[in-house]
Structure 1
Amino acid sequence: MVAEARGAGRTLAIAGAGSKAGVGQPVTADAAIASTGLAGIVEYNPEELVVVARAGTPLADIEAALAENGQALMFEPADWSRLLGSNAGQTIGGIAATNMSGPRRILAGAARDALLGVRFVNGRGEAIRNGGRVMKNVTGLDLVKLMAGSWGTLGLITEVAFKVLPRPETEVTLAVDGPGAADAAKLMARAMGTSAEVSGAANLPGPIAGRVLADGRAGRPTTLLRLEGFAVSIAERIGRLTPQLGAGHDIAQLDAAASQRAWAAIRDVAPFADGTETPVWRISAAPMAGHAVAADILGQTEGEAFFDWQGGLVWLRISGEDPQADRVRTSLAAHGGGHALLVRTGEDARARTSVFQPEPAPVAALSEKIRSSIDPDGVFNCGRRPFASVRRAA
């Protein structure tokens, strides 16, 4: 199909189940090609801690198979379908193509770190296999890492191999009342610097804390610190962690069920899943700079923000219809730089805004050389060229 399209000079829009179709500039193409027909788990041996599946396999099927064996994808893939109003399921290929990583990324790494191998069809119509099914693998050019976060601009992924790990027995989250964003960044840094193995660190301003926790915390800024593993180990680690958080804080413990609900809401950006098209930015910055970036932007426009990844991942919603890309990226650059992805906005704004972080000219030139060598005729996802910047910062 790809070879025929290339030969006829036609372009293709790659899609999975469509859960993230609203991200990026609108893709212009002569036809669509979806991976959903390529479904099914190809190989899964729990003892080897690897699952191999065709790209169109629903993520829910993967997670169900892993759960039966007490295992999980430890990078905790997010689901933006409610945020984007798509209400579509996710595919495992879409997770790989977008490098979709959740709160546990600060401890377990991103999706690309767990991606062991890929099969894909490039823009020349050639079937390519790269990587393998074990962690130690040397195959020359690491196309596996290149495909992770390429957003369908380099090829049609047909199969993926992911490393899996045992699912934590239980979890507890410490809810620390009071610290504002700047003090919370310091508190989270102290927590991550201990041996407590914190697997989630987020700061929620008062109004957002009320939406996430739903326990009367509205108006009370809250910092969440998650610990996972065996119950005995968690209790001992809490005993070591709590004194490091400083005096003067009220600290509550969320049990496993409440903790899971809270982190699912943070992972899926539930506080901003309001059924509107108001602009939502995903900003990646240095952990100690995230609060300053948000304060700078919100000092010039109305909106709200909350923080994941120890403060380094800023979810920011701007009131109104204008995403104010220049203001967002100017503020980000003023605080050390990073990456800003416009995840949600109206169709007109998507068409006229640089949704993905612009690259410096030398990097953009290198990115274009890579893309043109893999898809020389621009068959895939015309109008969307994010892969190098997304791959670096997602």
Structure 2
Amino acid sequence: MPHAPAPKLPAVSEARRLAALSSFDILDTEKESAYEDIVRIASYVCRAPISVVNLIDADRQWFKAEVGLGVRETPLDTSICAHAILEHDLLVIPDTTQDPRFAANPLVTGEPGLRFYAGALLKTADGLPLGTVCVLDTQPRTLDDDQIDTLRRLARQVMAQMELRRMLRQSQRRGDHLSRLLATAGHDLKAPLRSALYAMSKVRSGVSGEHAARLDDARTDLLSADQQLSRLLASTHADIAGGDAELGPVVLHEVFDALSSTWTRAAQRKRVALTIGRTGAIVRGHPLLLETVLGNALSNAVKYTPGGGAVTMLARSGDGKITIDIQDNGCGIPAEKVEELFSAFRQADPQAEGLGLGLWLIRQSAAAMHAEVEIHPGATGGTIFRLSLDAA
């Protein structure tokens, strides 16, 4: 059977994914030590000769950092990572020659003769896949649970680095709120840095020689970054005071359709029944901010709902308002924890994927639209997320 490239996401989702990737201004940038450290750590921890921070562009895969390849990009039609971004979380291929998607891939049948692949997704706060942190080998193999956990943690660290750089660029362009952005960016990096340090400490006990020395060097660099961020946070104040957005009529079903194309696939992978109701409502808001609010709320609902559960999103009108409810039957949020989780970089489950930005982004985006956000426990468990906007 001849080799076939990975299928693309639906057109709407792919356009949103590429727009999100473009917003980070990372493609074709120079090498940076923070990303180089990440691929070296991934390579050491997973005992893999090849490790890559990989971003999937429209027609190529581009490497922000790599170990063992010696190139910065390759065509998309032979990309294994292009298959990985179709997954919800992680793709592991123990033997590429035994997988019909990859058995005829020129990177498998020819040089460098890839036989093993494992990639953890790089995802935005609202779930758009941008690429992977991946490790590869020329021998069939697998990873243990600690190695898989470390790969996921390193993927979160890459996203934290990307978010920091984007925040700083936005601050420089606007010339305002620098302290706010630096403070939130610092919080963004603290948790992933400590996760990486913890993972490295676990692995360090089992290695020696040159690998141990390199791990020690990388750990020293991360400790230095952690200390610098502590000083940064001590000298700034996270006084969030977002401005108003330019508001206008938004056709709600267009936003619902875009979210359906993104989250139906993710829900199916988790065996979660996702229902998004039809609506003819028009609200006063901002389309991108509204999609951010609802996308992050759906992301949380799907993430925290177990397989076999259900998530619904429905809109209703009354008293000049449009109210959108997103209800799940997941783990729920204790009432006393709700306000805390609206802070930046907080998660209901600290071990869950993501950066803990979802509810913070929701509150900031909703405030810019003069919308109201509430979270309530469901009558039979789970959570009800409620957004109220003015009807247009």
Q: TM-score range by the shorter chain?
A: under 0.3
Query: Normalising by structure 2, what TM-score?
Result: 0.24
Higher relative contact order (CA 8 A, sep 6+): 1
Output the TM-score relative to the length of structure 1.
0.24
